[in-house]
Amino acid sequence: MASIPNNEQELQACVRKAKRFVRQRALISGATRALPTKALLASALPPTFVAVDWDLSDMTMSLDHVNGMFGLTPQQIEALEESQRLAVQTAIARLVDSAVGKYLTKELIDVVQRRSGVTTATKHAAKYLPVVNGAVGYGTFVVTCDRHILECEQVVRAVWASRRNGAREA
């Protein structure tokens, strides 16, 4: 289980690793959107399994994984000592409609995507051209996750500032 980065080097390594992970997942997401995989899966799997929104599932898993890379999943936050947990929760509270440190739901993912500039019209327009659909899927994924990585970085920096302020007061 990862912990909150303690210095700039650790933070930048975490950011690079998260961006690399996001681009790999985005490539897979874009490729699966460009192929008619749902029709193929429908013949091999039960209908309830195929009804799962693959994009939502992949996005949820990826954002949660990024949270974990920064030590910011709900479970990791709960395991922190009280002063550090309070600093993390305060920093997260300042971020409006963020997925940092939260249990991810379909509604929260929709809000995060809208904030990243992803519109329903763009998603519907891409539905009819597979290559465009793949490109939109890749772009949506990268933009949403990159914004999330930036928010995680902001939370970590706020925790560092809180630690410095606490050390000065002591």
For 25, the token pair is 């997942």
For 30, the token pair is 């874009």
**Which segments of 35-105 does DSSP mark as H helices, in order?**
37-44, 47-50, 54-69, 74-78, 82-94
Q: Tell me the C-alpha to C-alpha distance, in Å, between residue 89 and each of 43, 54, 74, 75.
A: 46, 30, 10, 13
pLDDT digit string (tens) for the chain, length 170 residues = 678 999 999 999 999 999 999 999 988 877 776 666 555 555 554 443 333 355 677 888 898 999 999 999 989 999 998 988 898 888 888 876 666 766 655 666 666 666 555 555 555 555 556 666 667 778 878 888 898 899 899 999 999 998 888 766 55
On the CB side of 120, CA atoms within 13 Å amount to 2
Q: Domain-by-domain residue ranges, the chain?
A: 8-169
First to last CA, the chain: 30
